[in-house]
Amino acid sequence: MESQTETTVRRQRRIILFPLPFQGHINPMLQLANLLYSKGFSITILHTNFNKPKTSNYPHFTFRFILDNDPQDQRISNLPSHGMGAFNRLFVFNEHGHNELRHELELLLALEEDEQVSCIITDALWHFSQSVADSLNLPRLVLRTSSLFCFLAYASFPVFDDLGYLNLADQTRLDEQVAGFPVLKVKDIIKLGFKSSKDPIGLMLSNMVKQTKVSSGIIWNSFKELEEPELETVCRDIRAPNFLIPFPKHFTASSSSLLDQDRSFFPWLDHQPPNSVLYVSFGSTTEVNEKDFLEIVHGLVDSKKSFLWVVRPGFVKGSSWIEPLPDGFVGEWGRIVKWAPQQEVLAHEAIGAFWTHNGWNSTLESVCEGVAMILSPFMGDQALNARYMSDVSKVGVYLGNVWERQEIAKAIRRVMVDEDIRENARVLKQKANVSLMKGGSSYESLESLVAYISSFSF
Ligand code: UDX
């Protein structure tokens, strides 16, 4: 799967990439960086020290650390490194990062090298970087790490707020259809967890939407056939060119993993029958309380299906790992690990389904490997991704956060045998594969992205 890098190419153009420092954002940005490197560009990655990438896995890139190099800066040094508090960095950097980013870019642009800097590509949530790039006349492209569908919903927040969805007093409206989004119910919007379009998160998302719209181009980790109606809307509403490329089809995210990946279960997995094992993982930031954890445990046992379960340290609130697990629970039924090479697991023929929180990377990795899902979104875009996978793509069983053993066991038994869902998942994978062939939508998108970036003369 890994694309060949062309080490003999004489590189004449450099691209600066600036990911958000969280796993679900680092992975797609470094996949994109690998892809652009394979197309002949030199790569500089700007990054914070917090959650810093394993630079040794990328000897062919240049890394520059910015925004939190000063240990005396108490706006940052006092922030927690784990849990939701860690995300407060986004507010601080977006508010105070302008001068430092500008200074860093000036240095990079002044370097006397054979190569020319073509553009900067930043995570869409670094909305402050648009004015920095503008002030230097440097084209800024945006990487949006979630779906087009999610972007359109975020762009509608002010309308949702006016309609009272974000802070709903009347519980009878939960099943009401969302204005402009027939596939969504008001309860899906509530699940986003945002109380107002004017609170700090609402404002950050609205700035993200605004600055994405005025960027020089938008790169989406997706493909046309997955979100065709949404692409039409985006192209109608936004002048900037759009490029849809399913990164997991080009590179796995293994080399940008912040946690060490356990591979010790592969001999066990290799011995399981095809399509027999449920893979369970809820991403890099989610948490459950001990009671819900035990319901998951019992649901897995009651389903009588084999499983491979990623329980990230810190997933169970108040425990360092799996201390609440009853003795003798796992047995020969399954394996529990702290972190796994997820895409390799999804590609394994023994895997029959994926119980996921629907972070967009996990969702797209599952789609790209043709694996049916159980959909249990926790917060934010996950709720939108899950609804789309269940009601539009029809590749999953919607469970939600129903931490109730019978319901869990029922969902597991269903996803492992529901032939319609499983066939839809296979067809979607096939569409992704076809899109990569010469003349296919993803192939053409990548080619036009490369041509577009090459056309900048700075
Ligand atoms: C976060 C948000 O939760 C998500 O909603 C948003 O779309 C992106 O940022 P995260 O929770 O980390 O993402 O989920 P996800 O987007 O699925 O990314 C997780 C990444 O970690 C995936 O690329 C997955 O392959 C990788 N992973 C996960 C591993 O490498 N090993 C594991 O054991 C589990």
What are the tens digits of pLDDT across the range 369-417?
Answer: 999 999 999 999 999 999 999 999 999 999 999 999 999 999 999 999 9
CB 226 within 8 A of CB 428: yes
Task: Judge whether residue 8 has pLDDT over 70.
Answer: no
Q: Is the CB of 362 under 6 A from ligand 1?
A: yes
Q: What is the DSSP string of 401-418?
A: S---HHHHHHHHHHHHH-
Q: Is the CB of 51 under 6 A from ligand 1?
A: no
What are the tens digits of pLDDT across the range 274-331?
Answer: 999 999 999 999 999 999 999 999 999 999 999 999 999 999 999 999 999 988 887 7
Task: Judge whether residue 6 has pLDDT over 50.
Answer: no
Whole-number pLDDT of residue 362: 98
Q: Is the CB of 365 under 6 A from ligand 1?
A: yes
Instruction: Pick the atom of ligand 1 nearest to 363's CA.
Output: 17
Instruction: Pick the atom of ligand 1 nearest to 380's CA.
Output: 5
CB neighbours of 96 closer than 8 A, spacing ≥ 6?
75
- Using DSSP bridges, classify how beta strands 373-375 and 306-310 pair: parallel, antiparallel or unpaired: unpaired
- Catalytic-role residue among 47, 68, 123, 381: 123
Give, using CA atoms, the residue closest to atom 26 of ligand 1: 342
Q: Which amino acid is at 452?
A: Y
- Separation of 339 CA from ligand 1 center, angstroms? 11
Give, using CA atoms, the residue closest to atom 18 of ligand 1: 24
Task: Judge whether residue 355 has pLDDT over 90.
Answer: yes
Task: Judge whether residue 4 has pLDDT over 50.
Answer: no
Q: Catalytic residue at 123?
A: yes
Q: Is the CB of 360 under 6 A from ligand 1?
A: yes
What are the tens digits of pLDDT across the range 24-58?
Answer: 999 999 999 999 999 999 999 999 999 999 999 99
What are the tens digits of pLDDT across the range 117-126?
Answer: 999 999 999 9
Q: Is the CB of 343 under 6 A from ligand 1?
A: yes
CA angle 254, 255, 256 (to 5 degrees): 95
Q: Is the CB of 123 under 6 A from ligand 1?
A: no
Q: Residue 122: helix, strand or coil by DSSP? A: strand
> Could you report the predicted ipTM of this complex, rounded to two decimals?
0.98
Q: What is the DSSP string of 331-374?
A: TTTEEEES---HHHHHTSTTEEEEEE---HHHHHHHHHHT--EE
Q: Which residue ranges form the domains of the chain, and what is each CATH number?
A: 4-149+196-254+435-454 (3.40.50.2000), 259-432 (3.40.50.2000)
